[in-house]
Structure formats: structure tokens, C-alpha cells
Structure 1
């Protein structure tokens, strides 16, 4: 009996100590007291994104090209003659770098005797013959695509979004459903420990908790603004950048390089989401001191809801990955670092516009970094890994050329011809 009594007393004492510790920890945590200033209806965000896409379709359309007529005007600069020479096997062959498109144009004489010779695609040292879809140029859906070539870019990003939706399902399947929560929590804690005592700890002199605590103590108005920034800027901002850059890039190969970089960054991140689910700071146990300010402020985006949204995908931060890529692109086009190396068709910017591009290129990634950390949605390491993925994706973005044969066969099945891009047209090219 004395032994049992002793054990019960010890258990009760430990329980009281634990309760007091949790109470003290909770009382020391800053409280969220601000009231949301405004709340958007759920339909506003999709409408904004659709409006951006429709505006991009209209501003990048081919003027003078008729969907309803098979005979297109040949005055001024001919669309087909300038960008889709019939002597070439594909309307998209000019999109490839010169050394690649030249090698693909090396056809046998017998193939050139036909009206629409097969395309010769060279992938990983092997040569593939794929159907030439030029014969479908006058089909109605081909003419719609040629009138609004930005539709192809919209199709590419629909594929990206579909793959993101699958990451939550595949990750849960891989980690056995309920086991994914424990695994992602362990990974999140491991990230914090790595930042504190890992070999790269010198890169993280400030802790995520300190950043959020600073905003919570006397700067909650700013944090409310960051909550809205996190919820509302990511998707519309990225879509808006793609739309603007498709119209403003000096050439389509330049635009396509950035688009492929963003896409490959996506797929590297998606693979990480599946194999390394990571709990964001806001979902860690309360004693870590993080608060989910976006949801406390009722600022959740419509894109952050639904059963296919992957809430355990903190590593890496695609919010920062996109912002980092966009920032580097803006810095490149500021022309500050390449005053004597302008691209063909590029116009030299005034000092005002150079300063404007530099400011945006630096401030936008900085704003997103502060946002994702202050709202406890990401760790600093998430941003660092996302930056590394962007660099790797830029260096390896041509890997997507391996899908050209698949794209040729898809267009053949759809009886459609890939449109000639309108990027660079505003420079008179």
C-alpha cells in the first residue's frame, strides 16, 4: 500500500508540474487580439485569377488573324511565313535553341519531298519520328489556339496544378494515412533542430519564433497585412507575372526558359512534398510557441481549402520559390548587370525603369520571406531549399525537351497544330 500510494503521489505531482509548465508557456505566448479589417467573399479570388488570364489572352492575341476564315491576310508580316515556314517540320521548332533546331532540321531528302514530312526529334541521343501536325492548321480549334496562343500556357499550368493536387494523396498513401501526421511533425522538428545546430546554422541567426513574436507584440496590424499577403498574393501574383512576362519578354525562348524553370521547380517541390512531408510551424505542438495567424485572422485563401490541399508541405516553400524566380527575372531585365548585352529586339531601359525593376526584384522576395515566416507557415530552411531548387531548375530546364515527342503525339490525337507564340511581337519581330 505505501508503494502504491507513493507512485500515485509521484504521478499526481508530475501531472501538476506538467500542467503548470503548459499554463506558464501558454500565458507567456502573445495573444492574437486584432480584428480582421475586411474579408473577401470566396468567389473573388477565382474571379481575379480568371480575369488575369482572360486579359492576358486578349492582350497577347494575334491581331488580324481570323478564327472563322481559313485564308489569313498575307500583308504586313505573314504569320505563317515568318514563324512557321512549311519547309520546317514543326511550327514549334523555332522555339528551341539554334543548335537543337538545326539538328532537328537535318532531314533525309526523301522526307522533304512530302508536303508534311514527319518531325525528327532527338531525345537523349536517340532520334524519334513524330507526326507533323501542320496539316491540322486550319482546323477550327487550331485557329482558336493561333488567335489566342496564351491558351497553351494556361494548359501547361493546369497540368502543374493537377500534379500538386495529387501530392497529398500520394504522400498519405506512402506514409500510411494516419502515419503521415507523425512523420511530418518529426520532419518539422528536425528542420528547427537543423537550423539551430546543423552545419548551416550560421545562415539562420534569427529564429522563426522570434520573428512572429516581434509582430505579435505591438505590430499585429502589420501581421494582419502579412496574413492577407500570404493568402492573396501567391496565386494571383504568380499568374499575373506569367501573363505579364508572356507579353513583355523580348523573345519567346526567353519566356519559355523562365516558364520551364518554374515548372521544373514545381516538380522538384512536388517530389519533396511526397517523400518528405513536413509540418509547418503553425501546426507544431503548442509548446513550440507558434500561432496560426492566417486562420486566427480568418484570412484563409480559397486555394488553401479542400481535401486535396496539402497542408503538410512546408518543405520547400513554393511561395518563396516563385518569388525568388520572379525576383531574379526582374533583376535580369533591369539591365543593370548587362548594359552592353541586350537581347535581340530588347529596348534599352531608362534609369527610372532600371531602378523600378531592381526595387521590385529585391523587395518582392523579401516581402514573401517575411510573410511566410511571420505567419508561421514556413521555416527559413524552406526558403533556402526553394532557392536551391530554382537554381537547379534553371540549369536543367531543358530536360522538358524530352516531352516534345509526347506533345507531338498528343496534338496529333487532338488534330490540332501548336500555335506560333505572340511573345516578342510588340518589339516588331
Structure 2
């Protein structure tokens, strides 16, 4: 090695002087070792918030009744306003309906018109379906929410989140893809509400002016009924109740096609929205909705943290 340069010598001399006088300033690593009181308090608060969020994700708190009622009421009010405020682009919606109908027929799955005509021959059946379409969509969904709130409060918030995200995604679909239902297309479809004089749809008859008639894609009758069906299947105790849960979205699919309120592709759209809802809840809570503890905070009274249906055959009956 050669002799040190003049600059190296000066630098070594300054370093030695700083060491003797204690004037060396702490670097990033040193300054982090002795934080002041404010920094310690900020870090403590941040850690507490993160811990609370993790705890809330894995063990949601018991929902508050008044808050949930207000949230559901306001959310549905906003949903109705947004859904019905989307411009009723009749020409665009009819063009989209024609495209969907031709696409289905090209695939050989355009069965809606045949089903519509076949079921319409039994007046008692089609009238019953009209009323089913108008009522159960709300009654069953609200009933499942109440059941979750009372019997599965630890899973309620996550399951409700799935429903809300699903509905929010549907609103985007209504805006971006206005679609006329088959009954408004002509093409030989029967508007069963108008023909039989029932009130099975807010989009037919005297109430048609208060509802957007071109918000058929995606079908929230399918999105909500499938949410109800899966919730009942995974959380109900009795086998026959779980079977009914699975049959409910199947019956709803039959109704929306028989009454010519939707194409089956609208049902596919509803399923996609629901899948997004479940994925969003999974990201928020870090586990699937039905894997959360049954009771808030993982109370000792909770029998299991994973639904027994996931490990017990259907024939086993009760949990």
C-alpha cells in the first residue's frame, strides 16, 4: 500500500477530533435506538391501532342493532336512487338485449323463450312466480340478515360486507351495460305480469315509471338469492334447511327466466358480482366469511370456529 493522500490524512484527523469531543452525530441506525417520548407514544398508538384492526378482522365485534338498521336502510335507499337514476337508454338497452339473445342462440343455449311459453300455460304457476319475483327477493334476504345477526353475530359483519360489495358492483353493471329484459324485446316473449294482471314486477304495469326497466344486467335476484343460499348451507344446523338453502337460488333462476325478467346470462353476471363480494371480504378479514368465529371475540361458548359442514358429511344432520 502507498502513503495516504493528503485528503485521507485530513479526514482521519477530523474523525479523531470528533471522537475526542463527542461531536459525532448519530446516523439513522443510532437515532432509531433512542427515540424521544413523542416518537415512542406515536409508535405505541400505531401498534395499538394495528392490533385492534387485526383483532377486528379475525374476531369481529358484536354488531349494534340501530347502526345496522340505519346502515341497511340508507344503503338500500342509495341503491334505489342510483339504480333508478341511471339514464334509461332504451335504444342502447334494446341493442344489448338483441346482442345477448343472438349470442345465446349461437351457442345453442337460448332457452328463455321456450321456458317462458311453457310455464305461462299454467296460469296458477306463472302467477305464483310473479309474486315470488316481487316479494321473496326482499323477504328472504332480510330474514337471513336477521338470522345472522341473532345466531351468528361474529360472522354477521363479514357476510353483510359480501352483500354490500356485491350490490355496489351491480350498480356499476347497470350503468355501464343497460340491458332490456326479454319481456320488453318483443321477439315472442310474454310479459307475464302484464298478461295476467299481477304485480309481480316493479318494472311492469302501473309501477313501471318508478323503476329503471333497463337494469337487468347483472341480476341481483340471483346475486342476493345465492348469497342467502350459501349462507344457509354453511351455517344452518339441520340438513333439510341446508338443502332448502341450496334450492332457493335454483328456484329463483327458474322464476326470473320463466317470467322473462332476465336472460340466464344476467344470472351469470350476478354470480360474478357475488364472487367479487366474497373475495373483498376475504381480503378484509383474512379468512373466508364462514370461517370466522360464531360469536364475537371468539367467546368460549362458540362450539367451533370452522363450520362443521366443512368436515362432516351432509348425512350427519345436526352439528
Please report the TM-score for the alignment, with normalisation by the length of structure 1: 0.50
> Which 5+ residue runs of structure 2 have no aligned equivalent?
1-37, 54-61, 286-293, 303-319
The 5-angstrom pairing of residues 248-397 of structure 1 reads 248-249=151-152, 251-252=153-154, 254-285=155-186, 288-300=187-199, 305=207, 307-334=209-236, 349=237, 353=238, 355-397=239-281
Does the 8 Å CA contact 1:247/1:424 hold for their aligned counterparts? no
Q: Any unmatched runs of 5+ in structure 1?
A: 1-106, 128-145, 335-348, 402-420
| 1:238 aligns with one of 141, 148, 153 | 141
| Pairwise CA distance, 1:333 | 2.1
**Correspondence 1:161 to 2:53:** no
Distance 2:209 2:79 in 1: 12
Structure 2: how far apart are the matches of 1:400 and 1:325? 18
CA deviations over 1:247-299 (Å, ceiling 9, x no partner): 122x52x22222111111101110110111100011112xx111111233333
Structure-to-structure mapping, 1:27-426, within 5 angstroms = 109-110=40-41, 120=49, 149-168=64-83, 170-172=85-87, 180-197=89-106, 201=107, 204=109, 207-217=111-121, 219-249=122-152, 251-252=153-154, 254-285=155-186, 288-300=187-199, 305=207, 307-334=209-236, 349=237, 353=238, 355-397=239-281
Counterparts of 1:318 and 1:192 in 2: how far apart (Å)?
20
CA displacement, residues 328-379 of structure 1 (integer Å, 9 cap, x when unaligned): 1222225xxxxxxxxxxxxxx4xxx1x2133112210111011100001011
* SS of 2:148 mapped into structure 1: helix
Q: Is the 8 A contact 1:324 1:365 kept in 2?
A: yes
* Greater percentage in helix: 2
Pick closer, same or farther for the CA change 1:427–1:290 going to 2, 3 Å.
farther
Q: 1:272 to 1:422 in 2, by over 3 A?
A: same
Residue 215 (structure 1) shift = 1.1
Structure 1 counterpart of 2:21? none
Distance change in 2, residues 1:159/1:119 (3 Å): farther
Other structure's SS at 1:396 match: helix
Q: RMSD across aligned C-alpha pairs, in angstroms? A: 3.4
Distance 2:216 2:300 in 1: 41
Which residue of 2 is the match for residue 9 of structure 1?
none
**Residues 174 and 217 of structure 2 are in contact (CA less than 8 Å); yes or no, is this contact kept in structure 1?**
yes
Q: Distance in 1 between matches of 2:117 and 2:43?
A: 69
Bigger radius of gyration: 2
